[in-house]
Each structure stands twice: as C-alpha cells, then as structure tokens.
Amino acid sequence: MKIDRLSDWSPVTALLQHTLGQMLNLEIDSEPFSQLEEYFRELEKVPPLQGWQNDSFLELFGERVFEALNRQYGGATPPVQLDLLKISVALHLPPLPIPLVPIARHPLSGAMTVASWIPGLGPILNSPSANILRDFWCTDFIQCVWVAPASIRAFLAASVERLSLDAVPPHEDFRALDAQLPDCPWLDAADVLIPVNTLRELGLSCNLMRSVSAVPLYRAENIVTVLSAQRLMPQTIGRLQQTLRTTATIFQVRGDEAAIEHLIERTETDNIDPSRIFRGAGKTTQQSGRDLETEAVRVVNTCLLKAVKMRSSDIIFAETPDMLRVRYKVDGGWMDEPGGLPLAVAKEVINHIKMRCHLDISITKIDQDGLLVKDFEGQRFTFRVNTSMDISGEKAVLRVQPKFDTILSLEEYGMPQTYIDAIDQTLARSSGLIVLCGPTGCGKSTTIYSILRRIDASFQNVLTAEDPVEIVVPLVSQKLIDRATGETFASWTRDILRKAPCITVVGEMRDQETVEAVMTVATSGHRIISTLHTTSAWTIPSRLMDLKAQRFYISQSLSVGISQRLVKMLCPKCQVQVPVPAAEKLVRMGLDPERFHGVTHLAKARGCPYCHGRGSYGRRAIFEAMLVDDEIREAIEEGATSLDLRNISARSGEQTIFDKALAEAIAGRISLQEACTTRCG
Ligand SMILES: [Zn+2]
C-alpha cells in the first residue's frame, strides 16, 4: 500500500486527540479541551520530527510526574520503563502529531508492540479507522505499552538521523496473527535490562522468577509490569503479589520462554545481590563460622563465574574498612560489583581463595602467589592469584590465565601480513632483534606468545625470561624472574649464551644493563625478542640509545620494531550513527577535517545489557611497524631522528597507529574518542 498524503492520517490524529480528551475527562468546550485542540493544531503545523520534541500534552496539562499520571490514568496499558535507546527495531514512525515508537515485533505473528506516552491506545490503533497505521507497519495487530514522555523524547533526539517517516516495505514472510495472548504486548527479552535496584526493592529471587517463569520489569506505586511467556494464572499472580507484599495490579507483557530464561540467568550473574547471598551475614554474632565459610565459597564461585561470563581479565577482592569490594576488569576498564559485600565475610572470602591456591592463610603481611583452578560449564579456567596487604586491608588479585592453545595467531590478531613476513624472516635467520613496544596493558606479551606459536620448539631451543609467566608454553623453557632472590633480566640474559639458545625472549628491557646484555646476545648470532617502554615503533632506536646502546649495534641487530595499542570495539547491539563533528570542533580535537572529507557519519554506542552498559564489546589490536631495511639501517647508523625514520617508512606507505585508528573510526568500528586515545605525543 502506498501512503503518500499526510491528510490520509487525519482520522488517526482525530482518534488520538479524542482518546486523550476522554482519558483526561475533558468536557467539550471547556478551557482544557480547547488547550488540547490547540496543542494538536500546533503540532500539525510543524514537521513531526520537530513537533515530537515538544513537551507532551500530559506534561503540559498535568504537570505531574510519570508515576502520578500512571496512578491516575493507568489501568489500560502496561506501563514499562524502557530505555528506548537500547532498543533496535525498524525505525519507521508514522507521520502523526504524536510519536508512536515501534519497539518490538513478534517474530511469529508479526504483531507490532508500540511505545507511546498516551496510555490505553491498544483498542483504537486496532480499530478500522486506523487501518492506515497497520498498513504502515505491515502488521495485522498493534499492541501498546506506555513509556514516560521524557524517555520517548530522549530516544527521538538521539535517533533523529535514523528515523524514517516512510512505511515499512511489505515483507513476504508475514504470518497470520497468533491469537494466543492478543492483549499482551510482546517484547524482545534480549532488549530488557532489569535494574539491580528494582529486583532488590521487589525482593524477587531468581529461583522464584524461574519457578513462575516471569520477570518484573517495572514498578509504579500500584502497578507492577511483569514479563512472562505464558498467561499468568491467578495463583501465580497471587504468589507474586504475596512475595511483593502488594495488592498492586500486575500487568503482563509477553516474551519468549528461552529469552526469559536467559534473562533470569543473566540477572543472576549480572546482579550478584549481596543482601541475598549474605542474608544476615552482617550479624556475625548470629552466624556460625561454618555459615560464613559456606557463604564465602558461594561468593567466590559466583564472582568467578560472573567474571568468566563477562570476559574479565582480572578480578580483585579487596578488604576495605567497611566492606569487601569486588572489582572486574573487562576490555581494559575496571567496574565495581555494585553495593559491595559485608565486611563480616571479607576475611572468609580471602582465606577461601588462599586455601584454594594452597597459600598460607596465617601470612597476611607478605605477598603470596598461587594458582586457582575452577571448572565452569565443562571448561577449565586457571586464575593466577596474588594476595597482598595495604592500608585498607588484605586483597586478592586474580588474573585469568589464558591457555596457550587459545592464543590467537598473528593473522587472527589482525597483524598486517608484511609485518608477519618480517617476523618470520627474522625467526628464520641466524640472528636478529624483534622489539615490541607500547604502553602497559597494550597486549605486547600476548603478541609475544603469538610469535612463539609460530616456532616449532621441538626443533629449537627456546628460552624465555618473564615476570610473571602469564601463559605456559609447551616445550619452551620459561624462567620466572624472581626479584626476591636478586635475579634480574640483565643477569639472566648475560648467562644465556651458556645455555645454547636458538631463540630467546627477554620480558622487558627496562634498564641499561638489560639493554647491554640483549645487544650482546643479538649481535653474537642469536635471535632475540623483547619489549621496550616507548610509544611508537620509530622511537625504539632513540629509546635504546637513551639506555646507552650503541647506534651501530642497534642498526646491525634490530630487524623489526612493532608498536601496538588495543582499541575498544563498539558494541554491535547499541551502536548508533552520529554526525561527524563540525570542522571547528575537529580542529579543536587536533584532527584534520580533510581526513573526514566525504564522511557524514561516525558511530558511537550508548551501553546496553549485552555490553554491561559500557558501549564497547571486545578489543582489537592495531599495529604499526618499522621494518628495518637497508635504507632505515643506514639512517639509524647516521643518527636519524624518530621523525626521519617515520618519514622513510611513510614513503613506503606505512601508517601510524593513530592513522589506522582514525580509519577504524571512520569505518564505524570504533568511536572517534577511542581513536584519539591512540595518539601519542
Ligand atoms: Zn551495547
């Protein structure tokens, strides 16, 4: 069907106006009624996208908050509190004075769920006068939920670029309405995030939610909206009301069973609820040591499971003067377990971790290291544990130790083939030095393990010195540099020639002695890989010279210098397009507007349940390299500056990390802000 005249919409507009007037009990010819008419007249004069940004009539008329309106006018439509920004459905909005936002489409029946700031629209949107609306969305049936006007406006303001006032193109696969629960709007449970506080206030346990297969979504004073797969039986409603200690009306919206189960599971791991895990744990006098111990085991297991599910790299359990603080590191950023856990259980939790790694629980003032192994869902995870004491108390830091066979290859890491070839050539030669650089946490050691994956250690003598040993590599002799015994990278490297090495890895060159020892090994016919703390591949020679290496030895031994950064990838579920900032703003950010020529949009993400509200999901490495050829070797020997070296590389097409990160931002894979973090100097 073709809808090309806005006047076609006037019956629906009239219906909306009429419903609103009835709902508010406005007498015809009264002052408020003419205000309502005036409101609609004004809106019809401006383009919808602009008019929708105005305050809703409910706000203008009622000046009441959403909940108060809800109390007064609710009863017709399930109210929900949805962050519409996190919901992604067809962004086709009918050109009506009142925004109707499609938020879900039932996968089988095709019934459309629409959010609006007017409650109780269901019946009128399915009346014959509103045929045009159902044609617009290619659906047979429209269901409604009621969302706060502010939430709708925020969504519209943020999505204005993506919205369309054109009808949804008809799709062939459309099936007949599943009339099972025509009065229950369907929501995609994957879009739903239950705030921890809602659950805490409601006091619903995951077990109860599971047993009735329902999840509370929203609570106003006398209304609770519940998401469930089946129609709720009266006894189930009674049970919910009993648990919620309320006589509130329970509204039902509908979701898929598997998705609801998944949502409950996610809630379980997302929201470890200290008050529930430790029911009464604060009152130590009433709790026996055995109870606390049991609780501690549950806390440790729950937190570790949560960490694994969130793809955390590190977990900290820290005793503070008034609680146990649990933190997770995900994609390089830290996040706190909300609320913290009661202090009473803190000591037990740390002791339990120490016992699991066979550490001495009576030793608190001296650092201890150990390994904790835990199986989750048939997979084995190893955590490297360090316990220590600071002024606020004892803490345990756990780092997830990846397995060697899960380390990606350099190709999988996205390293350009020319760099990989240069590394392979160096490893195949009789001597050469590969240096990796970049700030702490940029993934240098992972890259070294990836390089080790390329070496067949059964035919070569491969030796490494590491602090700490992050991953155990089969057939490689790995040495943990134990500073307590006075051992250093320098002393180990000086001794290495006696061990007949083929390939040597020296964890880090951080002082003059180590650099000297590495240069000696590298220039005496050996292959050596190490890392250096400097920002770009082209500053490696000058940094080595700062550490008193001689220019000639650098030029003779260095074959590949690689710098890398990890950038956060935008969450695929909640990214939105944003216009490219104006040229002046780009200049203020230190960016060249020319780079953005012909680019209209960039991407950013707002955070959703999938990404734990962070807006990013996963990271990828970006590399830059100085591949030492004759020209660069000569330039180093002649005392070229880092800039000179970079210019030489640039002539053969080599780009900096920042250039590459900008290209990623322009391609919409990372945010512009993230690209800017890779800029050095
Ligand atoms: Zn997200």
Locate the domains of the chain by residue range.
6-159, 189-271, 276-401, 406-564+619-659
How many CB atoms sit inside 10 A of residue 480's CB?
A: 14
How confident is the model at residue 216, as a pLDDT?
80
CA distance readout (Å), 592 to 102, 567, 597, 673:
39, 21, 10, 14
Burial state string for 426-450 with b = 16 or more CB within 10 A and e = fewer than 16 = bbeeebbbbbbbbeeebbbbbbbbb
**Measured in angstroms, how far is the CA atom of residue 575 from the centroid of ligand 1?**
7
Structure tokens at 141: 């049936």
Non-local (6+) Cβ contacts of 183 within 8 A are: 122, 143
Fold entry, domain 406-564+619-659 = Rossmann fold (3.40.50)
**Measured in angstroms, how far is the CA atom of residue 334 from the centroid of ligand 1?**
17
Pairing mode of beta strands 477-480, 462-466? parallel
How confident is the model at residue 59, as a pLDDT?
77
Pairing mode of beta strands 379-390, 503-509? unpaired
**Measured in angstroms, how far is the CA atom of residue 83 from the centroid of ligand 1?**
12
**Measured in angstroms, how far is the CA atom of residue 611 from the centroid of ligand 1?**
4
**Measured in angstroms, how far is the CA atom of residue 640 from the centroid of ligand 1?**
46
How many CB atoms sit inside 10 A of residue 235's CB?
A: 9
**Measured in angstroms, how far is the CA atom of residue 622 from the centroid of ligand 1?**
22
**Measured in angstroms, how far is the CA atom of residue 191 from the centroid of ligand 1?**
10
Burial state string for 622-636 with b = 16 or more CB within 10 A and e = fewer than 16 = bbbbbbbeeebeebb
Separation of alpha carbons 177 and 162, rounded Å: 29
Q: Which residues of the chain have pLDDT under 50?
A: 1-3, 64-65, 88, 172-180, 271-286
105 forms bridges with which residues in the sheet? Answer: 112
How many CB atoms sit inside 10 A of residue 619's CB?
A: 17
Separation of alpha carbons 548 and 168, rounded Å: 69
The answer to whether 115 and 122 are in contact (CB under 8 A) is no
**Measured in angstroms, how far is the CA atom of residue 238 from the centroid of ligand 1?**
36
Pick from 357, 193, 358, 190: nearest CA to 267 = 193
DSSP SS3 for 668: coil
Where does residue 560 fall: left (phi above 0), alpha (psi -120 to 50 degrees), or beta otherwise? Answer: beta
Structure tokens at 253: 């919206």
Separation of alpha carbons 323 and 337, rounded Å: 12
**Measured in angstroms, how far is the CA atom of residue 269 from the centroid of ligand 1?**
17
**Measured in angstroms, how far is the CA atom of residue 66 from the centroid of ligand 1?**
27
- 406-564+619-659 and 189-271 share a CATH fold: no
**Measured in angstroms, how far is the CA atom of residue 615 from the centroid of ligand 1?**
5
**Measured in angstroms, how far is the CA atom of residue 571 from the centroid of ligand 1?**
4
DSSP SS3 for 139: coil
Residue 280: HSE in the Cβ half-sphere, 13 Å Cα cutoff: 6
**259-273 tens-digit pLDDT:** 777 777 666 655 444
**Measured in angstroms, how far is the CA atom of residue 670 from the centroid of ligand 1?**
13
Structure tokens at 656: 């900096």
CA distance readout (Å), 157 to 49, 152, 161, 164, 364:
9, 9, 9, 13, 54
**Measured in angstroms, how far is the CA atom of residue 103 from the centroid of ligand 1?**
17
**Measured in angstroms, how far is the CA atom of residue 305 from the centroid of ligand 1?**
21
Pick from 284, 225, 195: nearest CA to 609 = 195
Give me the phi and psi of 404, to 5 degrees please: -60, -35
Q: Does the domain made of 189-271 have the CATH classification 3.30.300.160?
A: yes
**Measured in angstroms, how far is the CA atom of residue 26 from the centroid of ligand 1?**
43
Separation of alpha carbons 10 and 376, rounded Å: 59
**Measured in angstroms, how far is the CA atom of residue 570 from the centroid of ligand 1?**
8
Verdict on whether the full-model pTM lies above 0.85: no
**Measured in angstroms, how far is the CA atom of residue 228 from the centroid of ligand 1?**
24
**Measured in angstroms, how far is the CA atom of residue 82 from the centroid of ligand 1?**
15
**Measured in angstroms, how far is the CA atom of residue 125 from the centroid of ligand 1?**
32
**Measured in angstroms, how far is the CA atom of residue 192 from the centroid of ligand 1?**
12
**Measured in angstroms, how far is the CA atom of residue 606 from the centroid of ligand 1?**
7
CATH of segment(s) 276-401: 3.30.450.90
Pairing mode of beta strands 527-532, 312-319? unpaired
Separation of alpha carbons 576 and 509, rounded Å: 43
**Measured in angstroms, how far is the CA atom of residue 114 from the centroid of ligand 1?**
22
**Measured in angstroms, how far is the CA atom of residue 190 from the centroid of ligand 1?**
11
Where does residue 164 fall: left (phi above 0), alpha (psi -120 to 50 degrees), or beta otherwise? Answer: beta
**Measured in angstroms, how far is the CA atom of residue 248 from the centroid of ligand 1?**
33
**Measured in angstroms, how far is the CA atom of residue 193 from the centroid of ligand 1?**
11
Separation of alpha carbons 460 and 447, rounded Å: 20
Separation of alpha carbons 41 and 351, rounded Å: 70
Structure tokens at 329: 């590191």
**Measured in angstroms, how far is the CA atom of residue 296 from the centroid of ligand 1?**
32
**Measured in angstroms, how far is the CA atom of residue 562 from the centroid of ligand 1?**
32
**Measured in angstroms, how far is the CA atom of residue 403 from the centroid of ligand 1?**
28
Pairing mode of beta strands 432-437, 393-401? unpaired
- Greatest extent of the chain over all pairs of C-alpha atoms, in Å: 102
**Measured in angstroms, how far is the CA atom of residue 304 from the centroid of ligand 1?**
22
How many CB atoms sit inside 10 A of residue 408's CB?
A: 16
**Measured in angstroms, how far is the CA atom of residue 88 from the centroid of ligand 1?**
11
**Measured in angstroms, how far is the CA atom of residue 617 from the centroid of ligand 1?**
7
How many CB atoms sit inside 10 A of residue 242's CB?
A: 9
